[in-house]
Amino acid sequence: MADGHAVKLTEEIVYYWPNKMGRMFLLALEDVMGESGVKAVLNLAGLSHRVGSCPTNDLELGFGFDELSQIMQALEDMYGPRSGRRLAYRAGRAGFKYGLKDFGALLGLADLAFRLLPLAMKLKVGLDAIADTFNNFTDQRVRVEEETSHFVYMVERCPLCWGRRSNVPCCSAAVGLLQEATSWVSRGKRFDIKEAGCIAMGHSQCTFVVGKQPVDELPQTEIAPSE
Ligand SMILES: [Zn+2]
């Protein structure tokens, strides 16, 4: 039992993305819902200080996990859970192009050697590269495991559902990111990707299952395939 000296008890650990990623995320959100949509969501999320003031384009850890999850919650509150998650998914897809521009070359994804790899290997390298990016530049923790028919992409400390409670998986922005990433590495294919477990549902991690076999072509967005 606490003895009354509650100094340590109130200490809160705060986790962050770098400003640059928060910036990418807000730009992606603007791509799918427009400037006024983003403004309304930020206001509803209690983040009015972010309105018209995009995070700076640097790697300093300044975009809080709580901010991301409040935005995700606000999307669902504003548009209803299904449509809100759909918008988050689309923002995740759009966000990939910003990430690719800034981190892709760094990770060797544009190299000729990468382009010559067999498909399953490309998926593996691509998913590992995304995991490495989050592990190296953010407080988010990601692991990727390979099974016979699919990959498992696991997120501990997930900013999308940070502090949230939900009856269904709610980190659809990550599904969108993975959908676009796997489409990019495969030059337009669509893979079956599902969030199979979510911290907001009481699970120990957010778990995304990524099928190895393409099921279809992914409908085009504003993102052009690699040259
Ligand atoms: Zn999550």
Find the 67 Cα to ligand 1 centroid distance in Å. 13
The mean per-residue pLDDT over the stretch 28-41 comes to 96
Q: What pLDDT is attached to residue 181?
A: 94
- Strand pairing class (150-156; 141-146): antiparallel
Confidence tier at 106 by pLDDT (50, 70, 90) = low
pTM over 0.75: yes
Per-residue pLDDT at 222 exceeds 60: no
As a whole number of angstroms, the distance between CA 98 and CA 89 comes to 15
Say which DSSP state 14 is in. Answer: -
Find the 36 Cα to ligand 1 centroid distance in Å. 26
Q: What pLDDT is attached to residue 11?
A: 60
Per-residue pLDDT at 160 exceeds 90: yes
The DSSP string of 139-173 is S-EEEEEE-SSEEEEEEES-STTTT---SS---HH
Query: Which residues does residue 142 pair with via DSSP β-bridges, in sequence order?
Result: 155
Find the 149 Cα to ligand 1 centroid distance in Å. 23
